[in-house]
Amino acid sequence: MQAETPRSGRKALLIITGVVAGLLFIFVGLAVVPRVLAHYFWPIERWYRSAPVQPIDFPHPSHVQVGGIDCLFCHRTVAKEAMAGIPPVEQCMFCHKIVAKEQPRIQMLASFAERGEPIQWMRVHRLPDHVHFVHEAHITYFTRKDGVLPSQVCSTCHGDVGNMQRVQQVRSLRMGDCVDCHRQNGAPTDCFVCHY
């Protein structure tokens, strides 16, 4: 009887170690494996990329569908510069001094304008700093090639923003995606084109 104790004690220790190691293995697996897979497969990565919450919930459909406002009216530099640009509060107030001014979100907007405080919009699409992207080249090329308006080119990379209550990234825009499209269109694929 007395000789049993250390042996069963060792057995219990073994079981506990086994269970702990097993749980750790499952936990690490659940935490790490999807992240690693997400690096390679865009549909998995998309689960992690929820649409960010904005300081003021900005509805594209109200502007694009209801208001009939062109993308370039707000994203003014998209066909001329690297960045598309987001309008300053003063430009919003051009309409919202009158349009929907009794609505709570517009009252929030008006208080930003009164304080002269810029709205810190959260970025939805963001490439790492070592990557160089130029809207202008893409808009110019595809408006010519497909004979369409600049605002009809956006959906190629951004999807149907005009119908999104909250903007979400819908295309991977990872290196493989960029390079594939460059190959298909005879655009340059040298490293220095996209990397500083």
Residues 142-171 that bind ligand HEC (CB under 6 A): 150-151, 153-154, 156-158, 161-162, 167
> Binding to ligand HEC by residue 133, rule CB under 6 A?
yes
> Binding to ligand HEC by residue 94, rule CB under 6 A?
yes
The conformation of residue 25, written as its DSSP 8-state character, comes to H
List for the chain the helix, strand, coil content (%; round to 5). Answer: 55, 0, 40
Q: Which stretch binds ligand HEC (CB under 6 A): 15-23, 27-35, 42-50, 132-140?
A: 132-140
Angle between helix axes 104-115 and 89-96 (nearest 10 degrees) is 130
- Residues within window 51-80 making contact with ligand HEC, judged by CB under 6 A: 54, 56, 58-60, 62-64, 66-67, 69, 71, 73-75, 78
Please, how many CA atoms are within 13 Å of residue 107, restricted to the half-sphere of its CB? 3
Q: How far apart are CA 196 and CA 131, in angstroms?
A: 7
C-beta of 68: minimal distance to ligand HEC in Å? 8
Judged by CB under 6 A, the residue of 14, 15, 32, 83 near ligand HEC is 83
